[in-house]
């Protein structure tokens, strides 16, 4: 509930003057609920962090190499220690509060993946001709007993392509790659960006015919076909980034969670097409809900699902 409540609290605060927000947030119900959820998150996460810190302290005291955790909490702890801000806890003005940061990351992870996958479902309903090929791919990769193997998701090229095509056409925000100019930069045309400039990139390339033939049309096979070309096997995967497809950003600051998100969406799509048939509740529903520079799926959109009688594979 943290992500949903966080956006509700944001909207509640936006209706007040910036001068009053430091005071009124204490009395707004959404903000009060958000603080309660944050406290719950801390009670769950902080003991885990404390146990890790104790393991590191003990290893260093005994002259052993400190255990290293290969996850986000471990990475944040290492970065905080390197920068001299480790050890922070809730309510303290000193140190980096890792539990708080982990809770905040849920907003970045949950609503973006949910929004992207909701568009995938909408595109599947709008283009039902892809349902059968997607089911056939699941059956071909997993077999009738539904046996998942290490490379099963990689072999689902059509699932990968279908989701990437949906992502290309329905980016959550038209403005991406927020950046801050730390020192003056001169562009190739002579334009100088002074230090302190905030800039973003307009993701028009995603819908440009210069990069994608019939860019405004949905082609679920688009990227699967591109991957069949020699030397292009990896460039057009869902998790691949390029200047022509900015859904996950670009360069060293590209979305680090895109691999997990891609696998999650492919698993859900395989489950959805295998077990259910889908349709819109209305014949011609309003799909888009613009909000600032973003275009979300209409939150009032309703769909119908019916359990399929015949399943090609047992999931």
| Boundaries of every domain in the chain | 2-96, 104-307
Tell me, what's the pLDDT at 172?
A: 80
Distance between CA 93 and CA 71 in Å, rounded? 25
pLDDT value at position 74? 84
Average pLDDT over residues 205-228: 92
Question: Is it the case that residue 186 has pLDDT exceeding 70?
Answer: yes
* Mean pLDDT, range 111-128, rounded to an integer: 94
Is 255 annotated to bind a ligand? Reply is: yes
pLDDT over 60 at 170, yes or no: yes
Tokens 């019916």 sit on residue: 306
pLDDT digits (tens, 9 = 90+) for 233-279: 888 999 999 988 888 989 888 988 899 999 999 999 999 999 999 99
Residue percentage of the chain with pLDDT more than 90: 53
Say how many C-beta atoms besides its own lie within 10 A of residue 19's C-beta: 7
pLDDT in tens, 140-156: 998 877 788 889 999 99
Of 64-73, 109-118, 212-221, the one with minimum mean pLDDT is 64-73
Tens of pLDDT, residue by residue over 58-109, are 988 988 888 777 788 888 888 888 888 766 665 555 668 888 888 888 877 8
Pull the structure tokens for residue 182: 């730390």
pLDDT level of residue 315 (50, 70, 90 thresholds): low
pLDDT mean across residues, the chain: 89
CATH code of 104-307, in short, is 1.10.630.10
pLDDT of residue 296: 85
Residue 312 above 80 pLDDT? no
Is residue 160 packed enough to be buried (19+ CB in 10 Å), middle (13-18) or exposed (0-12)?
Answer: buried
pLDDT of residue 311: 67
Name the H helices within 210-308: 222-227, 258-275
Q: How far apart are CA 110 and CA 5, in angstroms?
A: 12
Q: Produce one character per residue of 22-45: b if its CB has 16 or more CB atoms within 10 Å, e if not.
A: eeebeebebbebbeebbeebbeeb
Mean pLDDT of 151-178: 92
Identify each DSSP E strand in the chain by its residue range: 175-180, 185-186, 192-193, 198-202, 276-280, 288-291, 294-297, 303-307
- List all residues 6 or more positions away from 194 whose beta carbon is below 8 Å from its beta carbon: 181, 184
> Residues 283-309: what's their mean pLDDT?
88
The pLDDT value given to residue 27: 95
Contact yes or no for 169/219 (Cβ under 8 A):
no
Contact 226, 233 (CB under 8 A): no
% of residues, the chain, pLDDT over 70? 95
């Amino acid at each position: 509930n943290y992500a949903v409540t966080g956006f509700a609290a944001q909207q509640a605060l936006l209706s007040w003057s910036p001068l009053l927000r430091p005071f009124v947030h204490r009395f707004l119900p959404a903000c009060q609920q958000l603080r309660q959820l944050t406290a719950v998150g801390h009670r769950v996460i902080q003991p885990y962090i404390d146990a890790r810190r104790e393991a590191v302290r003990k290893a260093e005291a005994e002259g052993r190499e400190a255990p290293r955790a290969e996850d986000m909490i471990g990475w944040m702890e290492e970065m905080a220690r390197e920068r001299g801000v480790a050890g922070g806890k809730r309510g303290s003005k000193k140190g980096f509060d890792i539990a708080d940061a982990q809770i905040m990351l849920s907003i970045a992870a949950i609503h973006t993946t949910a929004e992207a996958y909701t568009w995938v479902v909408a595109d599947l309903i709008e283009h039902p001709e892809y349902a059968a090929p997607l089911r056939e791919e699941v059956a071909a990769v997993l077999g009738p007993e539904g046996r998942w193997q290490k490379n099963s998701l990689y072999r689902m090229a059509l699932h990968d392509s279908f989701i990437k095509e949906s992502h290309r056409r329905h980016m959550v925000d038209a403005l991406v790659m927020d950046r801050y100019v730390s020192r003056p930069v001169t562009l190739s045309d002579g334009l100088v960006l002074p230090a302190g400039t905030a800039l973003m990139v307009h993701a028009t390339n995603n819908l440009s015919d210069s990069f994608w033939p019939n860019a405004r049309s949905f082609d679920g096979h688009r990227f699967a076909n591109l991957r069949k070309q020699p030397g292009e096997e990896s460039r057009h995967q869902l998790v691949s980034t390029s200047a022509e497809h900015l859904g996950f950003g670009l360069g060293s600051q590209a979305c680090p969670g895109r691999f997990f998100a891609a696998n999650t969406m492919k698993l859900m799509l395989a489950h959805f097409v295998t077990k259910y048939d889908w349709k819109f509740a209305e014949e011609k529903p309003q799909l888009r809900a613009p909000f600032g520079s973003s275009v979300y799926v209409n939150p009032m959109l309703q769909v119908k699902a019916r359990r399929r009688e015949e399943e090609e594979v047992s999931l």
